[in-house]
Copies of this chain bind each other. A is one copy, B any other.
Amino acid sequence: MNTKQIIDLDMKSIWHPCTQMKDHEKLPIVPIKSGKGVYLYDFENRAYIDCVSSWWVNLFGHSNDYINSKLKEQIDTLEHVILAGFTHEGIVKLSDRLINLTPKGLDKCFYADNGSSAVEVALKMSYHVHLLDGKKRFKFLSLSNSYHGETIGALSVGAVELYKKTYSPILIECVVAPVPQNDGDVEFALKELEKILDKEGENISAFILEPLIQCAGNMHIYSNFYVKKAVQMCQERGIYVIFDEIAVGFGRTGTLFAYEQCEVVPDFLCLSKGITAGYMPLSVVMMSDDIYQKFYAPYEHQKAFLHSHSYTGNALACACANATLDIFENENVIDKNKELSKFIIATMNNLSEIDFVANMRYKGMVFAFDLVGFAPNRRVGLEVFEAGLRVGILLRPLGNTIYFMPPYVITHDQIKYVFDSLKTILKQIKY
């Protein structure tokens, strides 16, 4: 098929995720033919640098030779087997590695397919443990500006109005504490949290948060001290803490996992996205052996956690995940990223001279700034997206927040190209 044929057939047949399809009357969908490294190529052989890691999933470039080879080996061996009553080497290795990479308290792995499903597992399980302890705690606590996915349970504990408002009558009850806006209001945020816990603490099953960065919440970076204190306050009161590290895990915040910077261990850790380095859906929830033991009982006590997805623990996805961890181990990724992060910060700083660029912020391998001062309805982020495509950079702003969250294999030259292009684009934008 050629570009026009694909676009026509796409528009006729596909309803794209998180998209007002009418936007594509003006902005054609881009058909991608292939990928290699940080580049995606269209059917006219134009290259685009994937500055958003294809929705924050890709870590080591598209069509990575090493992951490809490991995945092909797995295909020739075992593509999938039911995980109830059966197991396979890939998932056993992966689980053992994840447990060894995380502290005591994250002792068991329960698998699902995507981030939303992992959040649902953690919510249900936290609620269920309390029930097994004889406590009826029907509410969940989350932070303002948070996003945890879009299935009904996951959506219920998010607080970004854009996604949630429409569905509020069919969502489960959730209490929202304010996320600190800046380091100056950490104390205020903790006090507000305390008020909520004093009032509602005994009704709350779990507190769910994305530690350090609220990614879909316009890449809001917030205090690790807040996370530490908030977690302690909840855990002291018997409220389980769920860390949604679906987007921030696997090196995005500068450490392998974000909780490392917060000096606490959550009761549940949800991982997905980067776990397969961007190859295919897989998610896992890790929890303590104590929690596991509460469900461990004679069958007739009916205490089992009856949650499953057909493809739970898929062997192909586990092969990708093991290859991903191999690369982290063999290539010293976290240390190398420190250097890369510094280079990106220095390069991005060149944009600060543009007067409508504000709130420049970064953490690990996440970099963002806002375009401010425009008319309220102007979609200036979209203008930047369109202009980026014309010069071969795939940015996908969150509203008027531009962020850079590239695969870790990006080179200095590619980084320079992105920010030089971005500077040119931004300089051509008028109020």
Q: Which residues of A line the B interface, CB within 8 A?
A: 1, 6-7, 9-10, 12-23, 27, 29-35, 40, 50, 52, 54-58, 62-63, 67-68, 71-72, 75-89, 91-93, 95-96, 98-99, 107-117, 120, 123-124, 127-128, 131, 136, 138, 149-154, 156, 162-163, 166-167, 169-173, 272-273, 278-281, 287, 292, 295-300, 302-314, 316-317, 377, 379, 385, 394, 396
Contact = CB atoms under 8 A, between A and B. Distances in A.
B1 A92 contact: yes
Contacts of A57: 80, 310-311
A17 B284 CA distance: 12
A272 B99 CA distance: 31
B123 A21 contact: no
Given A14-B91, A34-B78, A62-B78, A152 B156 contact: yes
Contacts of A67: 79
A50 B80 CA distance: 11
A91 B172 CA distance: 34
Given A78-B35, A136-B169, A170-B138, A152 B153 contact: yes
Contacts of A12: 96
A131 B98 CA distance: 44
13 contacts: A7-B87, A9-B93, A14-B92, A18-B84, A19-B304, A27-B85, A32-B88, A57-B80, A62-B79, A85-B385, A116-B309, A151-B153, A300-B377
A80 B279 contact: yes
B85 A396 contact: yes
Contact of A54 (B82, B112, B115): B82
Most B CB contacts (10 A, CB to CB) among A29, A71, A80 go to A80
B33 A299 contact: no
A108 B21 CA distance: 12
Given A84-B17, A88-B32, A299-B379, A123 B152 contact: yes
Contacts of A138: 169-170
A240 B16 CA distance: 21
Nearest to A317: B280
A15 B305 contact: yes
Q: SS class of chain A's interface: helix, strand, loop or mixed?
A: mixed
A311 B283 CA distance: 11
A87 to B, nearest CB: 5
Contact of A92 (B9, B50, B88, B298): B9
Contacts of A278: 79-80
B22 A299 contact: yes
B279 A316 contact: yes
B312 A32 contact: no
Nearest to A99: B13
A77 B150 CA distance: 30
A280 B80 contact: yes
A87 B295 contact: no
Contacts of A50: 81
Given A16-B83, A40-B81, A95-B13, A6 B109 contact: no
B63 A82 contact: no
A152 B150 contact: no
Contacts of A58: 80
Contacts of A16: 83-85, 87
Most B CB contacts (10 A, CB to CB) among A22, A108, A138 go to A22
Given A33-B78, A87-B14, A310-B273, A21 B281 contact: no
A377 to B, nearest CB: 6
A80 B54 contact: yes
B14 A108 contact: yes
A273 B95 CA distance: 24
A17 B312 contact: yes
Contacts of A296: 20-22
